């Protein structure tokens, strides 16, 4: 598989925020989000080729700290080998989160939490039918235990998210997170109050970005 980096940190977003986790970042993403904080993982050729066995060995070096793994990207759902990687991690009794934009569906993945962040128009990443795949999103929501994370820059993004949710299978509002669009600590501080108000109005959860709060723009944290 093509890997950008493997490191141990705290989960920064969603239901498991704050949990020590091993992050396996796969390379390659067909989207080009304006505010993406992992642009170095866009190009599938940019990573190093490693076997699944090598990934497992590196993950195992953190086994004294955590049994949680986050498979992220780039877009991990487009890499060959993901099913086998998840199978082998599950055999090692890992708790598996997959971070995805929801543009692809794979059946029968060993996955404890499918963490989906549909890309709204504020991402400016190409055509809407490339960013938002209703069929894939619906299948993922029906098949897996999911959380949905929306990046919110202003109130119009909130309206777009609500309109999208109306087209999808129902999901518990507590598993829908509104996250401030923030690549830096100062952006996080600036946009958090506006997003907090939207959460209070809607019943959706406030999506913390703990890694930005703690480490600002540092990579591999
Ligand atoms: S989908 Fe994720 S990895 Fe891909 S460009 Fe957007 S933010 Fe970056």
> pLDDT tens for residues 164-175?
999 999 999 999
- Answer yes or no: is the C-beta of 31 below 6 A from any ligand 1 atom: yes
pLDDT of residue 127: 75
Mind listing the pLDDT tens digit for each residue in 173-186? Answer: 999 999 999 999 99
Domain ranges of the chain: 2-215
Q: Does 221 score more than 80 pLDDT?
A: no
Residue 22 has φ and ψ, to the nearest 5°, of -95, 130
pLDDT of residue 29: 95
Q: Of all atoms in ligand 1, which is nearest to the CA of residue 35?
A: 7
Rounded Cα–Cα distance for residues 198 and 8 (Å): 32
Rounded Cα–Cα distance for residues 3 and 220 (Å): 13
Indicate which residue's Cα is closest to atom 7 of ligand 1: 36
Q: Does 208 score more than 90 pLDDT?
A: yes
Q: Does 46 score more than 90 pLDDT?
A: no
Centroid of ligand 1 to alpha carbon of 37 (angstroms): 8
Centroid of ligand 1 to alpha carbon of 170 (angstroms): 25
Q: What is the DSSP string of 88-128?
A: HHHHTT-EEEEEE-S----SS---SEEEE----GGG--S-H
- Answer yes or no: is the C-beta of 99 below 6 A from any ligand 1 atom: no
pLDDT band (50, 70, 90) for residue 219: confident
Q: Does 156 score more than 90 pLDDT?
A: yes
Indicate which residue's Cα is closest to atom 3 of ligand 1: 74
DSSP code at position 220: T
Rounded Cα–Cα distance for residues 143 and 114 (Å): 10
Q: Give the architecture (CATH level 2) of 2-215.
A: Alpha-Beta Barrel (3.20)
Q: Does 61 score more than 90 pLDDT?
A: yes
Do the Cβ atoms of 3 and 27 come closer than 8 Å?
yes
Indicate which residue's Cα is closest to atom 6 of ligand 1: 33
- Answer yes or no: is the C-beta of 207 below 6 A from any ligand 1 atom: no
Mind listing the pLDDT tens digit for each residue in 90-149? Answer: 999 999 999 999 999 999 999 999 999 999 999 988 778 889 999 999 999 999 999 999
């Amino acid at each position: 598989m093509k890997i950008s980096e493997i490191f141990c940190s705290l989960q920064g977003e969603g239901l498991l925020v704050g949990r020590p986790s091993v992050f396996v970042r796969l390379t390659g993403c067909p989207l080009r989000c304006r505010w993406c904080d992992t642009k170095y993982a866009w190009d599938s050729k940019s990573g190093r080729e490693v076997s699944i066995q090598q990934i497992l060995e590196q993950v195992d070096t953190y086994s004294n700290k955590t049994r949680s793994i986050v498979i992220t990207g780039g877009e991990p759902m487009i890499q060959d080998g993901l099913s086998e990687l998840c199978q082998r991690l599950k055999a090692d009794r890992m708790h598996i989160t997959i971070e995805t934009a929801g543009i692809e569906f794979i059946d029968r993945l060993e996955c404890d939490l499918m963490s989906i962040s549909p890309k709204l128009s504020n991402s400016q990443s190409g055509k809407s039918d490339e960013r938002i795949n209703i069929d894939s999103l619906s299948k993922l929501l029906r098949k897996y235990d999911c959380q949905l994370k929306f990046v919110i820059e202003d109130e119009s993004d909130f309206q777009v998210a609500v309109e999208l949710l109306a087209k999808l299978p129902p999901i518990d509002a507590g598993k829908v997170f509104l996250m401030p669009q923030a690549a830096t600590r100062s952006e996080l501080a600036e946009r958090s109050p506006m997003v907090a108000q939207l959460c209070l109005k809607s019943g959706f959860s406030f999506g913390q970005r703990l890694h930005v709060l703690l480490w600002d723009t540092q990579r591999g944290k």
